[in-house]
Amino acid sequence: MNATGAGDDIPGVDLGALRDWMDVRGLGRGPLTEIEALAGGTQNVLVRFRRGGQGYVLRRPPVHKRRNSDETMRREARVLGALAGTDVPHPRLIAAEPDTAVLGAAFYLMEPVTGFNPSVGLPPLHAGDPGLRHRMGIALAEAAAALGEVDHEAVGLGDFGRPEGYLERQVPRWWAHLESYGELDGYPGPRIPHLERVRDWLEVNRPAAWTRGILHGDLHLANVLYRLDGPELAAVVDWELATIGDPLVDLGLLVAFWPDESGELGPVTVQPWEGFPTAAEMVAAYRERSSRDTTAVDWYAVLACYRTGIILEGTNARAHAGLAPREVGDLLHATTVRLFEKAARLIAAAGDT
């Protein structure tokens, strides 16, 4: 996360109301100092500050909230609280406010994380050592495995999400999203290669059995922070899509976003890439730390391509309707095409046509 500004004028955050709220909860004393608005990977509001010698980061929904923004924030806070004491690297939750009365939105406070996001750029230490970059990739796979091994019922998430029929819902759910784009004026429809082929293959080859667990839902190199002094993860961030379902979905996303043998970088890029493990090495590292059967990993990777591509196509559809910049729509549509082409390669490699 990068600092973008400082001062008392931060949209969506009444610092006086925040200070009073912290007073009631015994969270430090005195003024809020060193206030900085941070730029993260989403439109959520992030503010770093200090009080009484301790650092804090506040996270709340965008000023112009979506319909489910407050509930999403409550869910994030609950997951972070549940992960306390586990070996999953995450920002430590300090306190959460589910009510919207204080700041006009649900919010929570977490400890600041010292680290860097590799998709923004690598520090000299990491940029200069291919062996260290190899360990960075392995650490990410191990974090995914560690999350999937957490007993969600034991940490208080037994009623979190809707795990029943989770895998069965995936293909029709995202297909319905794609069909809904047709309601936007000017959208010519999905010009996506292998579209029906990928959909049908996913339905036919869906794993018959899976084990419930916590999944992040958007786990890739843009949603993690690495330590400045080495290759280990400092924290996995942006937990807004976390739920109880099949944790192998996270592994599938890692594979889908990882460069393949063609050398083409995925939707999230890091430079220099030399030294990072292959997708097969990532799967092997996950398998070593996990009790889960990774035999069907290609299915999960194809699902990730399908799901992510359809989500990105939504911006292309909005661009055709004049609701998003045309250049952004074109860029994301091109990424969708690459994802579906990768899905077709994975299907072919699995021996299917």
pLDDT digits (tens, 9 = 90+) for 97-151: 999 999 999 999 999 999 999 999 999 999 999 999 999 999 999 999 999 999 9
Q: How many domains does the chain have?
A: 2
Q: 267 and 214: one domain?
A: yes
CB < 8 Å & 24+ apart, contacts of 317-326: 317/181, 317/184, 317/187, 318/184, 320/184, 320/186, 320/187, 320/188, 321/184, 321/185, 321/186, 321/187, 322/186, 323/184
Q: What is the mean pLDDT of the chain?
A: 92
Residues 250 and 102 placed together within one structural domain of the fold: no
Over residues 228-255, the mean pLDDT reads 96
How much is the average pLDDT of 6-10? 61
Model confidence pLDDT, tens digit, residues 153-165? 999 999 998 899 9
The vertex-149 CA angle with 133 and 260, nearest 5°, equals: 35
User: How confident is the model over 215-228, as a mean pLDDT?
Assistant: 95
Could you tell me if 28 and 162 lie in one domain? no
131 and 67 in a common domain: no
Amino acid at 272: P
- Unique residue bearing structure tokens 């999905």: 190
Whole-number pLDDT of residue 250: 97
Output the pLDDT for position 6: 42
Dihedral sign for Cα atoms in the order 76, 243, 199, 194: positive
| pLDDT above 80 (res 9) | no
Q: Are residues 103 and 22 in the same domain?
A: yes
Give yes or no: residues 241 and 282 share one domain.
Answer: yes
Residues 203 and 343 in one domain: yes
Does residue 74 belong to any structural domain of this protein? Answer: yes
Instruction: Say if residue 81 is in the same domain as residue 132.
Output: no
Residues 231 and 312 placed together within one structural domain of the fold: yes
- What's 189's domain CATH number? 3.90.1200.10
Determine the 3-state secondary structure of 114 from DSSP.
Answer: coil
- Split at pLDDT 50, 70, 90, the class of 40 is low
Task: Tell me the percentage of the chain whose pLDDT exceeds 70.
Answer: 95
pLDDT tens column, 281-305 = 999 999 999 999 999 999 999 999 9
Q: Measure the CA–CA gap between 349 and 353, rounded to whole angstroms.
A: 9
Residue with tokens 């989500």: 311
CA dihedral for 311, 212, 278, 133, sign (positive or negative): positive
- Prediction pTM value: 0.90
Are 80 and 161 contained in the same domain?
Answer: no
In this structure, are 170 and 223 located in the same domain?
yes
The DSSP call for residue 171 is H
Domain-embedded: residue 146: yes
Residue 181 sits in the same domain as residue 248:
yes
Residue range(s) defining the domain that contains residue 105:
2-110
The predicted model gives 50-65 an average pLDDT of: 93
